[in-house]
Structure 1
């Protein structure tokens, strides 16, 4: 049964949009309400919905108007809409909003909104950056538009900027993930490490897709917040990232994520004539030896073994720029960070928020970010020493491995260390070791720990200051104020937006949305090296099948 309603509409409710309640009065929306058309005809509100017969109970509760069944069929004698606007509505699943007041401000380009929440987001986005900068001075919030439509957004909160500059190590992991909300696009991120290798988000961006132009714009803004601090960028080998990082940060500061390199190597390995699972595992172990070798001599030895194993694999290593992912070849200090896993963790951390609209995503991200930062701050109070639990675990491991190492003091603060196989030299004053671990990671290796034990010194005095609790306090020493929304801008008579202070904002339309070809992917493409839980059979206690597929005889 199809019914049409024409209700009286009080125009006074759209005079002032002081808060969200006022906006809800203009456009009521929920799963139980009909879609609303604001029309040119004064004091008229047209509602049209398909109502199931079973809901038309006499004497029962008020009949709901399910928005999922709303129709966009125009009624000319009631709505007085233009032919172009009617055709756009008929071909769209969106519910149009139209009025003299809102036509130029919101529908200037013909875009329509699905519900009042998206309509509110379009208004709020125009002043979001300014309010973030106002509430938290030092915050960088910038966006770009094209012909009035939203294009790019970059946000780096003042708390994150100050924390990174004051105490974080100069290394960042960048990555992107898809947004599955109504406007699609991609979410770009730059993630740092705190004093105990905790995730410390520095900046995020919302762009149309992962391409060179968007990556260059995002990284250009990111470079601007670093205050001239030189950093090492870790990422995958997306062509847009390769080009933009080399142009903005220098090719010598770009480290490739070894996990992605290893997956590419594994794909190439499958095309080679290598028999058996054992052969593939041996080739991957040889690649690990090449990547994690700290000395040039160890790198060459591992590389020669790989060439003897398969000459094509050796050529693959040479052709894929080992100077960007092999430890011994990389020219800068990368603090033993070989992958961009922390950026991947950030993407998974925002898995639910990525389904929201842009404005909702930003607000939810702020709340979630503050909760995580507060957890890290409170966790610092539980540190049992001057370093965090993760750093303490690595340090204790090095101390345990230093027991069988013998030390012979030399002059000038140098020591001859014998591991049982080779002799190494430790310079306690210059803080160097022949194995290069101390220089690369900032933590004393087992050879240095043996020397420190001989000197009866405190091992914590030889740890890089970026791991100390004092650095952690500096990272989390800022303030982060919440973002109030009670006094957001309102739509004026001329279609512009004005806040309570009299500041005007240009109109902004939502981004253009293009539906990608094919069926939307529901599950991400898993890594080849993801460890899956083994299936156990409860009938025979075997591995690799369950009891329903078990063919083994019972004992």
Structure 2
């Protein structure tokens, strides 16, 4: 939690996953994001099932530390399932709560078919301006009124970028970083509870240790590598934009090759495209304007993207958990829960959506003639004129 307070963005992803052990159960988790877009585990809770009471209890214990973040108003991202929405609203009534677009998109596709409607929904969600959002929703209303009413009933402030909090320095539409955490602990979820807790502590300590060592050689006063990489990509596209010069005190007009015009105010760190304000990092138009004055880039980025802030995030160590041999003898003997085995073979993989692409198995080919249907032992030779060897790519010119 100290890492979250010292250097993470005020965005918290909430998610729950099933335990795969003998007795089942559920693991609730809270994760944050650092300046490298790396996930930072804040805490977990093991419970029997995912419900409003358990989410309320979990968030109640996290609330005192979450409120210590220097930027007030924590932005939550979740799949809003099984009591999570009610628990967040009860404990954090003024905090913005984003709904995971991926889950909403999946539900929307199950109710409304057609790629045209799906594209309209995606365009409306990723719009940075309320004007553009309204234009896409108007098109949807003409196409399908029920689809329009369905989305408007889901509170657009929770799933459209045009209404997100600008203090979050995060433009994420989904809680993929929470899903990444679930994937990170996939093997841990199969262990007994005591072993699970010990392995979770080791995982978090290893994560902090590796990141602390990785940033030792980074230059202080500079941007983190992922930010520098993004900035380098945007600098390569300077030729696609025209900067009209400062029309006022550090206010520039930037025109794209598609004749779109954007206004960039370097003093206020704003752009009319709204992307700079939302993610706390210069957009493409701001980079074009800033290049005119050869700036110190870190002055125009949120503090989360600085190396100094990243080092502070992982500066403090963690106290390791004691092993089972050092635990106190329990005064109360806890009896294991009743084992209720479900019918059928236990599932290992999640259920696929109806339109989700499946990985097709590639046909096995002979290693000798590269033809399917047999192996090199029974190979009778490839078709006449075939050549099993690939042509080498020429790296030199003639002459």
> Runs of 4 or more off by more than 6 Å in structure 1?
none
Query: Residue 292 of structure 1 corresponds to which residue in structure 2?
Result: 126
Alignment of 1:119-518 (within 5 A): 161-229=1-69, 230-250=73-93, 252-270=95-113, 280-331=114-165, 333-334=167-168, 335-381=170-216, 383=218, 386-407=222-243, 408-420=245-257, 421-485=259-323, 486-490=325-329, 497=330, 506-510=331-335, 512-513=337-338, 515=340, 517-518=342-343
Structure 2 Cα separation of the partners of residues 250 and 452 of structure 1: 39
Change (3 A) 1:232 1:460: same
CA shift for structure 1 position 244: 0.4
The CA RMSD measured in Å over matched residues stands at 2.6
Distance 1:193 1:529 in 2: 31
Q: Any conservation in 2 of the 1:398–1:444 contact (CA below 8 Å)?
A: no
Q: CA deviation at 1:381?
A: 3.5
Q: Distance in 1 between matches of 2:354 and 2:62?
A: 32
Instruction: Find the aligned partners of 2:333 and 2:5 in 1 and give their Cα distance.
Output: 33
Describe the SS at the equivalent of 2:252: strand
Question: For residues 530 and 365 of structure 1, what CA distance do their matches in structure 2 show?
Answer: 32
Deviations 1:52-100 (A, max 9, x none): xxxxxxxxxxxxxxxxxxxxxxxxxxxxxxxxxxxxxxxxxxxxxxxxx
Q: Distance between the aligned counterparts of 2:317 and 2:39, measured in 1?
A: 18
> Any idea what SS the aligned residue of 1:328 has?
helix
Gaps of at least 5 residues in structure 1 are 1-160, 271-279, 491-496, 498-505, 540-545, 549-553
Structure 1 residue 475, shift from structure 2 partner: 0.7
With normalisation by structure 1, the TM-score equals 0.61
Which of 1 and 2 has greater Rg? 1
> 3-state DSSP class of the match of 2:43?
strand
Secondary structure, counterpart of 1:294 in structure 2: coil
8 Å CA contact 1:403–1:450 kept in 2: the answer is: no
Count of aligned pairs: 363
Query: What are the Cα deviations for residues 334-363 of structure 1, in whole angstroms up to 9, with x where unaligned?
Result: 411211111111111111111222111000
Normalising by the residue count of structure 2, what TM-score does the alignment of the two structures yield? 0.83
